[in-house]
Chain A
C-alpha cells in the first residue's frame, strides 16, 4: 500500500520553477531517500508533504487522501500521523527539554501530568537525553538537539517520519547515533522519507532512492540496484561524478 504518493508536483519561487513535475511513491514501512544537489528543492517537497508549503500544481496523497489543497485546520490530523524532523531541530528555545517533549502530548492527548512526565522520561532515556531533562535547547550540543528533535517528533507515535538532513553537521559519533535511531524506528514499521547529503547514512537506512534534478525525478532505484549498477545518474551522483541536474 502506498502511504505517500506525489503526482506531478510543481512549485515556483519568484517566477523560478524549483519543481516542474515531480512524482514518486512511498510504500508502507519503506524508507525513501530523496537526494539531489544543494538547492534542488528536497526540503520543499518534504515540507509540502505535511502542508508547510503549498504545491502550485500536482497532487499529494497521504494514506489515500489528497491533501495539497487542504486548509491549515484540516491538516492537523495528517500532522499527527506524519512527523517532521527539522534540520536544525526547530526546538522551542524558551521551553526546557522536558517541556519540548511534553508539548505534543499536552496538545494531542488526555494524559495527566504524571503520565506525561513518565512518557517524557522514557523517551529521554531511549534517546540518551535523560541527563538533559531540565536544560534549555541552547544548552545542548548539536547532536543532542537533533536527537531531541527526533524524540519530540516521535512522542505521539507517528506512522510516517520526514527527516530533513538529520545528520547534517554532526560528528561521526552523533551521526551513528541518529542512524541507529532511524533504523530502530524503521524496524518498528515506521514509513519514512529521508532527505540528506550524507550518503553512507542514506545507504544504511534507505530502501530506495529518488534523485531530483531539473525539477523532476531523474533516477529512481533500490539500494540493491544502486550497488549492482554504477552507471546510473544516481550512482554517478553518489560518486560525486554528477549533481543529477
Chain B
C-alpha cells in the first residue's frame, strides 16, 4: 500500500478517534452553552445569505431547465412536482451541505489550525482544560443543530425560487404551483432529505476540527489543512449521500 493511501486512511482513523472523544466528553457536564450559541451564530446566521442565494438559484435554474425541457413534450405542468421533489429529497440538503463544507468547514479548519500554530490549543491544555470541550464540541453541536435548520430554509427558498420562475417564465399559475407542491410532497420525501443533514453536519464539523487540530508546518500547514478539510468533507458528503439515499429508500420500502 502506498504512503498516500496510508495517510488517506489514517485521516479517517484520526477523525473517528476525534468523534469518539467528542461522544465521550459531551456526556460530561458542564456543556458551555455560550460557546455553542456563539458557534450557532457563526454557522447558522452568518451562513444564511450564502444558503439563500444557493438555494434560490438552484430552484430557479431547475425550474427553468425542466420547464424548457418538458415543454417540448407537453409536460410543463409537471415542473412543480419534479422540482419540489428534487429539492426536498436531494438538492436542498446536499447543496446546502456542500456550500457549508466550504464556508463553515474552511473557517473552522483555518481558525483551529491558527490556534494550533500560535500554541493556543496547547495553552488550553496547559491551563487544565480540554480543547475537545472548548473548541470541538461547540462547533460539532452548532453544526448538528444549525445545518439541518439551514437545509430546511434552503428547501423553502429553493421551492420559492422555482415558483418565481414558473410564474414569470413558464406561465404557470402560482396557486396551481403551490397546490401541486403541497399534494406532491409527503413527510417521507421531506424526511429522506432532512435526515441526511445531521450526518453531513457531523462529517463537516469533525473533519474540519480534525484537520485543524492536526496542522503542522505553520501558516502553509493551515492553508493545506483548510483545503484538505473542504475537499474531504465535500467528497464524504457526496459519497455519503448515495449510501444515505439508499438507506432511506430501503427504509421507506420497509415502512
Contacts and interface: CB of A to CB of B under 8 A. Distances in A.
Interface of A: 47, 50-52, 72-73, 75-77, 79-80, 83-84, 86, 88, 90-93, 103-104, 107-108, 152
A47 B125 CA distance: 11
Contacts of B219: none
B120 A108 contact: no
14 contacts: A47-B122, A52-B122, A52-B126, A77-B128, A79-B125, A79-B128, A84-B126, A86-B122, A86-B123, A90-B118, A90-B120, A90-B122, A92-B120, A104-B128
Contacts of A79: 125-128
B127 A88 contact: no
Contacts of B120: 90-93
Contacts of B123: 84, 86, 90-92
B228 to A, nearest CB: 21
A112 to B, nearest CB: 16
Interface string B144-185: 000000000000000000000000000000000000000000
B127 A73 contact: no
Contacts of A90: 118-120, 122-123, 126
Contacts of B118: 88, 90, 93
B185 to A, nearest CB: 42
A80 B122 CA distance: 14
Nearest to B127: A104
B132 to A, nearest CB: 9
Interface in B115-142: 118-120, 122-123, 125-130
A162 to B, nearest CB: 9
A84 B125 CA distance: 10
B119 A80 contact: no
Nearest to B124: A92
Contacts of B125: 51-52, 72, 79
A76 B131 CA distance: 12
Contacts of B126: 50, 52, 79, 83-84, 86, 90
Contacts of B128: 75-77, 79-80, 104, 107-108
Interface in B52-101: none
Contacts of A92: 120, 123
Nearest to A73: B130
Nearest to A104: B127
Q: Determine which residue in B118, B122, B123, B130 has the highest number of CB atoms from chain A within 10 A of its CB, and name it.
A: B123
Contacts of A104: 127-128
Given A50-B126, A90-B118, 5 more contacts: A51-B125, A83-B126, A84-B122, A84-B123, A88-B119
